[in-house]
């Protein structure tokens, strides 16, 4: 950490905190003060700059000369840096003019270039995109055990040697094999299929299922076993186990079995209480027990956020836990004879697994066409009321199973989707968008799939697709004419100004290119892979979205701690300098994406 000070320039702040102590001392010794009067040009486009400037007091305008006259690029204020590109490339990209009397720290350009050559992290900060800046911040902030987990691969955990047996192997022999290899499961190969039988499976078969020690183990194995490559992240294994209600997975290397990984091995790397909540959800037999487990979810979010959890991983884990809770509540309220004839679908941010704190409930119910269930409305109302009691406020737009429009038979849903698709009106298009993010969490998932597939009908309809895309560009940019962040003391609404345009834009592209992924980060990856989105721009979109979500979550947690409501507003002046820089960069990325969408879909 650079701790030196250059006549008032704080070198402990980004990006100078990336310098080592000796480099910081060189900056401190060489930095001078420069003063510019109002209207004075500091640097012209195409000119070499003698210095890199950090504003001490005043404002500087960066502009470009266009056919119609000067066009503003950005406005820089106290604490902000400019002129780095001019020092590195030998020429400025913009023209810089003092908007008022301005005092700057001036770092000699030759010294700055030396530091760029010597320090890769310092160099990356200025050379690379928003994605790199975000990683540099994460690397600086994440020093906890959880941060290590975020980078830990499955191969780095305790992978246990696999015990394998033929399907006809007796239970007694399989248990003996497990004991010799000190594992709690046996893998069963049946032709091209690979299954798994755990010690618990075999104990249940013997004690409760009427099996005898000589019975074939294959009859009690689960097919197919979940397999994860050893190169995948350990956190992904935890999410997969939580989502699928399992305690052991197969680990592969180059497609071949390398061993097995159990939940306890994962938890040896993971010190949070997410597994405790997961176990409580699994054991819950009453609504009260579910409510008690749900009460711990906000504390878990606070803990993981404070420890620097990567946003995409945090959303996946919380989404998996929420899905388990909602599915378990469904099982407790819906009669057993009905459960297989209906499908509970979570929608919107919950369907995308991007709802970290409980903001509202968005869900729907798909019923089999021939189901006769007179109590459907009563149970659906009870379900919504119980979710409200657990901390999910009712949806302001009424998108809940308790309301008849969101509780239909499969045929009625398909007809409704077709009707919405023929009417490219704002309400119809937003209903389609909400439903398109749907994720089945309980009941028969096959009931929802034809409904979702019906939505792809508008992929080839340019008029409908344009109506579907329009909301992504409807909200005004939170950046000022001079490139500053709007909002002042009231803050900027990052949901309208940043999150929604990116999320909905990616949703539109997913629909157009028939990408099945629901999560926005997964959609971006899939669109990049399909060459529907430029790789660098796609990565910046993902990083911008992560910045918005992280900064909003921090403000929401702060509000909850103070007893206030969690909102979507961020006051830029209250952020650290690098966070403010990241927010502005992220807003620019969102603005660029809106411009790209306007061109792509001929939007207004």
Which residue, among 595, 582, 602, 599, has the nearest Cα to 133 in the 3D structure?
582
pLDDT of amino acid 442: 94
The CA distance from 94 to 156, in Å, is: 48
Give counts: helices (H), strands (E), the chain. Answer: 26, 22
Mean pLDDT of 26-41: 93
Mean pLDDT of 348-377: 91
pLDDT of amino acid 276: 60
Confidence of residue 486 (pLDDT cuts 50, 70, 90): low
Residue 196 pairs in a beta bridge with 187, 222
pLDDT of amino acid 149: 47
Q: Is the peptide bond before 224 cis (omega within 30 degrees of 0)?
A: yes
The burial of 291, by beta-carbon neighbours within 10 Å (0-12 exposed, 13-18 middle, 19 or more buried), is given as middle
Of the candidate ranges 129-138, 295-304, 338-347, 474-483, the one whose mean pLDDT is the lowest: 129-138
pLDDT of amino acid 147: 46
Average pLDDT in the chain: 85
Q: Which residue carries 């991983």 as its tokens?
A: 313
Distances in Å between the Cα of 287 and the Cα atoms of 275, 386, 388 are: 20, 8, 12
Consecutive H or E run containing 581: helix 577-601
pLDDT in tens, 129-166: 555 555 545 544 444 444 444 557 888 777 888 899 99
Which residue, among 588, 556, 453, 563, has the nearest Cα to 511 in the 3D structure?
453
- For the chain, helix, strand, coil in percent to 5 are 50, 20, 30
Contact present, 75 and 15 (Cβ < 8 Å)? no
What is the dihedral sign for C-alpha 567, 570, 571, 577? Answer: positive
pLDDT of amino acid 298: 79
The CA distance from 504 to 545, in Å, is: 12
Of the candidate ranges 65-79, 120-134, 414-428, 431-445, the one whose mean pLDDT is the lowest: 120-134
pLDDT in tens, 537-552: 998 899 899 889 988 9
Q: Is the peptide bond before 569 cis (omega within 30 degrees of 0)?
A: no
110: left (phi over 0), alpha (psi -120 to 50) or beta: alpha
Mean pLDDT of 353-380: 92
Contact present, 286 and 329 (Cβ < 8 Å)? no
Q: What percentage of the chain exceeds 90 in pLDDT?
A: 45
Q: Is the pLDDT of residue 479 over 70?
A: no
Q: Which residue carries 């911008």 as its tokens?
A: 544
pLDDT in tens, 246-264: 889 999 999 899 999 988 7
Q: Is the pLDDT of residue 101 over 90?
A: yes
pLDDT of amino acid 128: 54
Of the candidate ranges 276-285, 348-357, 568-577, the one whose mean pLDDT is the lowest: 276-285
pLDDT of amino acid 488: 58
The CA distance from 154 to 169, in Å, is: 30
Contact present, 86 and 24 (Cβ < 8 Å)? no
Q: Which residue has the higher pLDDT, 578 or 445?
A: 445
pLDDT of amino acid 37: 94
Confidence of residue 110 (pLDDT cuts 50, 70, 90): very high
The CA distance from 143 to 130, in Å, is: 21
Q: Which two tokens stand for residue 567?
A: 């909102």
Q: Is the pLDDT of residue 500 over 90?
A: yes
What is the dihedral sign for C-alpha 531, 154, 282, 389? Answer: negative
The CA distance from 354 to 495, in Å, is: 12
Q: Which two tokens stand for residue 56?
A: 């001490």
pLDDT of amino acid 146: 45
The CA distance from 538 to 550, in Å, is: 18
Most confident of 124-128, 294-298, 417-421, 486-490: 417-421
Which residue, among 344, 401, 341, 343, has the nearest Cα to 372 in the 3D structure?
341
Consecutive H or E run containing 503: helix 500-512
Distances in Å between the Cα of 379 and the Cα atoms of 339, 365, 416 are: 12, 11, 23
pLDDT in tens, 371-426: 999 999 999 999 999 999 998 889 988 999 999 999 999 999 999 999 998 887 88
Count of other CB atoms within 10 angstroms of residue 1: 12
pLDDT in tens, 179-228: 888 788 999 999 889 999 998 899 889 988 899 999 999 999 999 999 99
The CA distance from 51 to 216, in Å, is: 78
Helix (H, G, I), strand (E, B) or coil at 344: strand
Q: Which residue carries 């560009």 as its tokens?
A: 473
The CA distance from 221 to 202, in Å, is: 9
pLDDT of amino acid 388: 92
Which residue, among 165, 179, 162, 189, has the nearest Cα to 262 in the 3D structure?
162
Q: Is the pLDDT of residue 577 over 80?
A: no
pLDDT of amino acid 2: 35
Burial state string for 556-573 with b = 16 or more CB within 10 A and e = fewer than 16: bbeeeeeeeebebbbebe
pLDDT of amino acid 296: 78
Of the candidate ranges 102-106, 395-399, 419-423, 562-566, the one whose mean pLDDT is the lowest: 562-566
The CA distance from 364 to 159, in Å, is: 40
CA angle 520, 244, 216 (to 5 degrees): 145
Phi, psi of 95 (to 5 degrees): -100, 130
Of the candidate ranges 91-95, 115-119, 488-492, 584-588, the one whose mean pLDDT is the lowest: 488-492
Q: Is the pLDDT of residue 516 over 80?
A: yes
pLDDT of amino acid 193: 92
Q: Is the pLDDT of residue 119 over 90?
A: no
The CA distance from 188 to 205, in Å, is: 16
Contact present, 157 and 238 (Cβ < 8 Å)? no
Contact present, 436 and 468 (Cβ < 8 Å)? no
Q: Is the pLDDT of residue 127 over 70?
A: no
Q: Which residue carries 């000589």 as its tokens?
A: 214
Length of the chain: 604
């Amino acid at each position: 950490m650079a701790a030196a000070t250059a006549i008032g320039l704080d070198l402990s702040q980004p990006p100078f905190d990336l310098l080592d102590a000796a480099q910081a001392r060189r900056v401190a010794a060489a930095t001078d003060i420069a003063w510019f009067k109002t209207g004075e040009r500091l640097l012209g486009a195409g000119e070499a700059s003698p210095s890199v400037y950090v504003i001490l007091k005043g404002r500087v305008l960066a502009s470009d000369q266009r056919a119609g006259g000067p066009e503003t690029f950005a406005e820089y204020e106290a604490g902000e840096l400019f002129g780095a590109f001019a020092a590195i490339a030998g020429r400025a990209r913009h023209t810089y003019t003092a908007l008022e009397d301005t005092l700057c720290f001036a770092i000699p350009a030759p010294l700055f270039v030396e530091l760029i050559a010597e320090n890769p992290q310092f160099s990356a900060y200025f050379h690379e995109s928003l994605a790199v800046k975000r990683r540099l911040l994460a690397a600086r902030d994440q020093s906890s055990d959880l941060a290590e987990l975020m980078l830990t691969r499955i191969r780095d955990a305790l992978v246990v040697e696999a015990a394998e047996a033929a399907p006809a192997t007796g239970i007694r022999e399989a248990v003996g094999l497990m004991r010799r290899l000190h594992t709690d499961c046996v893998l069963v190969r049946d032709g091209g299929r690979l299954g798994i039988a755990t010690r618990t499976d075999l104990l249940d078969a013997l004690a409760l299922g009427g099996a005898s020690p000589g019975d074939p183990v294959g009859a009690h194995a689960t097919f197919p076993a979940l397999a994860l490559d050893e190169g995948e992240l350990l956190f992904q294994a935890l999410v997969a186990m939580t989502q699928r209600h399992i305690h052991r997975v197969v680990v592969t290397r180059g497609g071949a079995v390398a061993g097995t990984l159990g939940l306890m091995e994962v938890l040896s790397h993971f010190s949070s209480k997410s597994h405790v909540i997961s176990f409580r959800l699994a054991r819950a037999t009453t609504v009260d027990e579910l409510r008690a487990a749900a009460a711990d979810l906000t504390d878990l979010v606070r803990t993981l956020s404070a420890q620097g959890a990567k946003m995409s991983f945090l959303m996946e884990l919380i989404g998996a836990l929420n899905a388990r809770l909602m599915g378990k509540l469904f099982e407790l309220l819906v009669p057993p004879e009905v459960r297989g004839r209906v499908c509970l679908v979570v929608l919107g941010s919950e369907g995308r697994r991007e709802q970290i704190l409980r903001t509202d409930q968005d869900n729907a119910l798909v019923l089999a066409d021939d189901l006769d269930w007179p109590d459907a409305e009563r149970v659906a109302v009870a379900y919504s009321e119980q979710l409200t009691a657990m901390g999910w406020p009712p949806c302001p737009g009424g998108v809940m199973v308790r309301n008849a429009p969101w509780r239909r038979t499969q045929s009625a849903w398909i007809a409704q989707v077709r009707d919405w698709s023929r009417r490219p009106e704002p309400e119809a298009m937003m209903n389609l968008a909400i439903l398109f993010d749907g994720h089945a969490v309980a009941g028969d998932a096959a009931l929802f799939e034809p409904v979702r597939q019906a939505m792809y009908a508008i992929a080839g309809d340019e008029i409908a697709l344009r109506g579907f895309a329009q909301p992504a560009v409807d909200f005004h940019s939170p950046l000022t004419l001079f490139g500053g962040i709007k909002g002042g003391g009231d803050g900027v609404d990052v949901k309208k100004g940043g999150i929604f345009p990116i999320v909905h834009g990616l949703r539109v592209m997913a629909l157009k290119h028939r990408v099945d992924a629901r999560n926005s980060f997964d959609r971006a990856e899939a669109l990049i892979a399909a060459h529907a989105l430029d790789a660098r721009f796609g990565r910046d979109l993902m990083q911008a979205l992560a910045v918005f979500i992280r900064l909003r979550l921090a403000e929401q947690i702060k509000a909850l701690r103070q007893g206030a409501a969690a909102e979507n507003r961020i006051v830029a002046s209250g952020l650290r300098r690098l966070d403010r820089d990241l927010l502005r960069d992220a807003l620019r990325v969102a603005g660029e994406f809106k411009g790209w969408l306007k061109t792509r879909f001929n939007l207004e």
